[in-house]
Chain A
Amino acid sequence: MRLRRLVVLLAVGAFALWARRRGSARECVTLAYEDGSAVTLEAGSPDAERLLPLARALLAPRS
């Protein structure tokens, strides 16, 4: 019974860690326009792959 509880706890912990890492690694660009519309470009799309390196270059000088 104890072993079973331990396995369940480990499984839940591992899932939480995986979900957190997956969420933090998600990169995207959101563009909002004058008319109130907005578009989110997820990493992997051609437009995001063009914009994300430019944005990354802006974060570099802070270090």
Chain B
Amino acid sequence: MDAARALADLTEISSQVEAAAIFDESGALLGWTHADEAVARALVMGARDLLAAAASVRRDGGPGLVRLEAALAEGSVFIVGESRLAVVATTVPQPTSGLVVYDLRACLRALAAPAEKPKRRRKKADDAAS
């Protein structure tokens, strides 16, 4: 599944998500929901700044961060990482955070899942020749 399809499914399932963008560990933008790509790029850049700032919270250099949720009066920001991919999403105020996180993880898993291989069809002519 490609990023655009995964995000289309996400926004269809989760009415609380207002905008979302998927990026990889290098920061490359893979997909976005916003009409303006520049806004999506700004969203990803801001998410990376937020992750960089959050990395210094745990000063013992322990396990990596897999989820960040910032709850604000204007809305919430979620960043979920999985399989070298991450999705950043903004939501309405006071969302059901468990559901949003579940939907974001499902979005990343759908993207990371290998595409189904087409079944090989043997031609009858090949059988006849052998």
Contact = CB atoms under 8 A, between A and B. Distances in A.
Interface stretch (B1-9, B86-94, B107-115, B116-124): B86-94
Contacts, number: 91
B129 interface: no
A60 B118 CA distance: 44
A56 to B, nearest CB: 6
A55 interface: yes
Interface stretch (A1-9, A10-18, A29-37): A29-37
Interface of B: 18-19, 34, 39, 42-43, 46-47, 49-50, 53-54, 57-58, 62-75, 77, 88, 90, 93-94
25 contacts: A25-B73, A27-B70, A29-B54, A30-B67, A30-B71, A31-B67, A32-B67, A32-B68, A32-B69, A33-B65, A33-B66, A34-B63, A35-B62, A39-B57, A51-B53, A54-B50, A54-B53, A55-B77, A56-B72, A58-B46, A58-B50, A58-B77, A59-B90, A61-B39, A62-B75
